[in-house]
């Protein structure tokens, strides 16, 4: 968290933004301005009349309670999302953190217009049985070129939930093979599994954390504990749930208190592992996000993750790091777990969103022992791998991890300044790279700030109970940070 310390000190020492003062910056460096707009431009309140009419139409077909507005993706560019009423907003939510290099990036447009790529879009293969000729090469040049430390094996999937479901299955299979001493399953196991009974379907568990979000399919949902609306009425598994550290921010000012809190949680993790083993539901794996996102942008220290990793190893549990939201460069490193500085950070790392395809890496020891154990019809989508290769080229060519680190510092510094100016409204600014957040005093205030900001051309996301989360694309530059802070400052200045 050295960078947070630095930027906070800078913010305090320089007092860049007194109430009402403006950040002034040149609009755009070359590589961005080539394909994007200069600034937000608003024509109506959001949602505007066209969005409202489309909402009515879509409401006949689906529940539209979560729809914010309808978009004109053709006209959107870079960091700017254009809606159907012609409003152009600075987008720091980016389709729930899933747009890596902005809208309509020229490099991605080129992928589409390359005639060599047409067949990949038109003929979606069943990758597990009939892969295309270039599949090993494409995996090597895309996903394996960014593989986490110690991992040479990767399995693509369609989305984040499927990735985590299959990662869990991989850990269960690995765990039972260990227990069986790698012998063949007994006839009794084979028979009982067909009717959902143990020992064939064993009472194994995955340990997760309060506040976690790992997806919404039934296996994933048993490890998700962020909001009741996700879980209510859906049957679940009796799996152990540990407390996630509730840290005080800024982290550098509460080192001793936070270390105590983390120690308390780790102790609870070990207790739960022992207790669930005694209950006959041993913990096959531990799953955790490097930063709890949906649950409210909750951080923990590298020391916490390092000790948790050791606990997993000590008790023979696989350690699964869910990088669906933290992966892809948004923390300033390609994977959130790289900030821990461990040689051996994980057994399984799952991804989706900014990687455009779902999937997971795993250590050699966890490779499935037989075909068809980890399987489905499509097993991913090569057309998404094509786009990912190009995204990685752009990230390297435009040094986007450095851009994220620089913009992230400016953003966090700005948030520190705002919470100093508006201490009755804002608190707990925190972040890594541009993966930043700040809390409002309550949810109504948070929601009101977000709506007012949107009407001024800044589109943000929420998480947790009263948190605003910032999830810009990797092409989010310092002058975009200044636009964001100026709008937020205006909203806060008007706020009663």
Q: How far is the CB of 64 from a second copy (least distance, A)?
A: 8
Q: How far is the CB of 406 from a second copy (least distance, A)?
A: 25
365 contributes a contact to a second copy by CB under 8 A: no
Stretch that binds a second copy, among 237-245, 264-272, 425-433, 486-494 (CB under 8 A): 237-245
122 contributes a contact to a second copy by CB under 8 A: yes
Tokens of 99: 């747009």
Among 112, 255, 274, 444, binds a second copy (CB under 8 A): 112
388 contributes a contact to a second copy by CB under 8 A: no
Q: How many CB atoms lie within 10 A of CB 364?
A: 9
Residues 343-362 that bind a second copy (CB under 8 A): 352-353, 356
- Which of residues 345 and 461 has its CB atom nearest to a second copy in the complex? 461
- DSSP SS3 for 469: strand
Considering Cα of 196, then 202, then 206, then 207, what sign does the dihedral take?
A: positive
Q: Residue written as tokens 């906070």?
A: 8
Residues 152-211 that bind a second copy (CB under 8 A): 152-155, 158-162, 165-166, 168-169, 172-173, 175-177, 185, 189-190, 193-197, 200-205, 210
- Which of residues 139 and 410 has its CB atom nearest to a second copy in the complex? 139
- Which of residues 230 and 307 has its CB atom nearest to a second copy in the complex? 230
- Which of residues 38 and 73 has its CB atom nearest to a second copy in the complex? 73
Which residues lie closer than 8 Å to 306 by C-beta, 6 or more apart? Answer: 340, 342
Residue 206 CA to residue 222 CA, distance in Å, equals 9
52 contributes a contact to a second copy by CB under 8 A: no
Which residues lie closer than 8 Å to 310 by C-beta, 6 or more apart? Answer: none
Length of the chain: 496
Which residues lie closer than 8 Å to 262 by C-beta, 6 or more apart? Answer: 245, 247, 300, 301, 303, 304, 307
Q: Choose among 201, 206, 210: nearest CA to 220.
A: 206
375 contributes a contact to a second copy by CB under 8 A: yes
Q: How far is the CB of 353 from a second copy (least distance, A)?
A: 6
Q: How far is the CB of 69 from a second copy (least distance, A)?
A: 7
Segments in 279-323 forming alpha helices (H):
302-314
Residues 65-94 that bind a second copy (CB under 8 A): 65-74, 76, 81, 84
Among 5, 12, 14, 126, binds a second copy (CB under 8 A): 126
Q: How far is the CB of 80 from a second copy (least distance, A)?
A: 12
Q: How far is the CB of 419 from a second copy (least distance, A)?
A: 27
- Which of residues 220 and 300 has its CB atom nearest to a second copy in the complex? 220
Tokens of 83: 């809606």
With contacts defined by CB under 8 A, how many residues of the chain interact with a second copy? 124
Q: How many CB atoms lie within 10 A of CB 79?
A: 25
Largest CA distance in the chain: 74
Q: How far is the CB of 219 from a second copy (least distance, A)?
A: 3
Stretch that binds a second copy, among 229-237, 338-346, 395-403, 468-476 (CB under 8 A): 229-237
Name the E strands within 311-392: 318-322, 348-351, 358-362
Considering Cα of 330, then 331, then 333, then 334, what sign does the dihedral take?
A: negative
389 contributes a contact to a second copy by CB under 8 A: no
- DSSP SS3 for 459: strand
Residues 265-284 that bind a second copy (CB under 8 A): none
Q: How far is the CB of 347 from a second copy (least distance, A)?
A: 16
Among 34, 38, 238, 267, binds a second copy (CB under 8 A): 238
Q: Which residues are catalytic?
A: 213, 322, 353, 377
- Which of residues 27 and 72 has its CB atom nearest to a second copy in the complex? 72
Q: How far is the CB of 491 from a second copy (least distance, A)?
A: 21
- DSSP SS3 for 215: coil
217 contributes a contact to a second copy by CB under 8 A: yes
Q: 88-91 and 80-82: which strand pairing?
A: antiparallel
236 contributes a contact to a second copy by CB under 8 A: yes
Tokens of 33: 């301005």
- Which string of b and e fits 379-412 if b means at least 16 CB within 10 Å? bbbbbbbbbbbbbbebbeebebbebbbbbbbbbb
Using alpha carbons, list the distances in angstroms from residue 369 to 173, 178, 292.
Answer: 8, 12, 32
Q: 318-322 and 283-288: which strand pairing?
A: parallel
- Which of residues 28 and 54 has its CB atom nearest to a second copy in the complex? 54
Residues 456-485 that bind a second copy (CB under 8 A): none
302 contributes a contact to a second copy by CB under 8 A: no
Among 373, 397, 442, 444, binds a second copy (CB under 8 A): 373
- Which of residues 471 and 480 has its CB atom nearest to a second copy in the complex? 471
Q: 458-459 and 88-91: which strand pairing?
A: parallel
Residues 397-416 that bind a second copy (CB under 8 A): none
């Amino acid at each position: 968290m050295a960078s947070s310390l630095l930027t906070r000190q800078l913010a305090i020492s320089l007092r860049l933004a007194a109430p009402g003062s403006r950040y002034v910056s040149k609009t755009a460096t070359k590589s961005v301005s080539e394909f994007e707009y200069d600034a937000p431009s608003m024509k109506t309140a959001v949602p505007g009349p066209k969005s409202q009419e489309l909402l009515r139409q879509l409401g006949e077909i689906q529940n539209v309670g979560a729809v914010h507005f309808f978009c004109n993706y053709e006209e959107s560019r870079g960091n700017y999302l254009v809606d159907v009423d012609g409003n152009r907003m600075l987008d720091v939510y980016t389709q729930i953190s899933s747009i890596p290099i902005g809208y309509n990036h020229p490099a991605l447009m080129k992928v589409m217009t390359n005639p060599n790529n047409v067949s990949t879009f038109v003929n979606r293969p069943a990758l597990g049985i009939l892969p295309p000729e270039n599949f090993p090469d494409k995996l090597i040049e895309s996903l394996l070129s960014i593989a986490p430390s110690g991992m040479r094996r990767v399995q693509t999937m369609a989305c984040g939930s499927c990735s985590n479901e299959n990662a869990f299955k991989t850990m269960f299979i690995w765990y039972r093979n260990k227990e069986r001493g790698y012998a063949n399953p007994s006839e009794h196991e084979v028979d009982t599994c067909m009717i959902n009974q143990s020992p064939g379907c064993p009472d194994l568990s995955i340990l997760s954390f309060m506040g976690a979000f790992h997806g919404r399919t039934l296996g994933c949902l048993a490890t998700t504990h962020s909001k009741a609306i996700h879980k209510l009425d859906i049957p679940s598994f009796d799996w152990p749930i540990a407390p996630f550290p509730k840290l005080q921010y800024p982290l550098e000012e509460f080192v001793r208190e936070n270390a105590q809190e983390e120690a308390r949680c780790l102790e609870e993790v070990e207790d739960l592992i022992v207790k669930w083993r005694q209950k006959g539901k041993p913990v096959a794996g531990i799953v955790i996000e490097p930063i709890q996102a949906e649950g409210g942008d909750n951080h923990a220290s590298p020391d916490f993750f390092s000790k948790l990793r050791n606990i997993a190893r000590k008790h023979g549990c696989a350690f699964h790091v869910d990088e669906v939201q933290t992966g892809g460069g948004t923390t300033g490193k390609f994977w959130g777990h790289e900030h821990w500085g461990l040689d051996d950070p994980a057994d399984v790392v799952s991804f989706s969103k900014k990687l455009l395809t779902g999937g997971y890496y795993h250590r050699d020891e966890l490779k499935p022992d037989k075909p068809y154990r980890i399987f489905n019809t499509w097993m991913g989508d090569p057309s998404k791998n094509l786009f990912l290769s190009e995204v990685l080229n752009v990230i390297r060519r435009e040094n986007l991890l450095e851009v994220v680190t620089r913009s992230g510092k400016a953003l966090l510094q700005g948030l520190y300044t705002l919470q100093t100016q508006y201490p009755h409204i804002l608190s707990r600014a925190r972040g890594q790279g541009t993966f930043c957040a700040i809390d409002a005093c309550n949810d109504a205030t948070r929601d009101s700030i977000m709506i007012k900001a949107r009407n001024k051309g800044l589109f943000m996301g929420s998480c947790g109970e009263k948190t605003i989360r910032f999830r810009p694309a990797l092409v989010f530059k310092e002058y975009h940070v200044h636009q964001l802070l100026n709008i937020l400052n205006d909203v806060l200045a008007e706020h009663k």
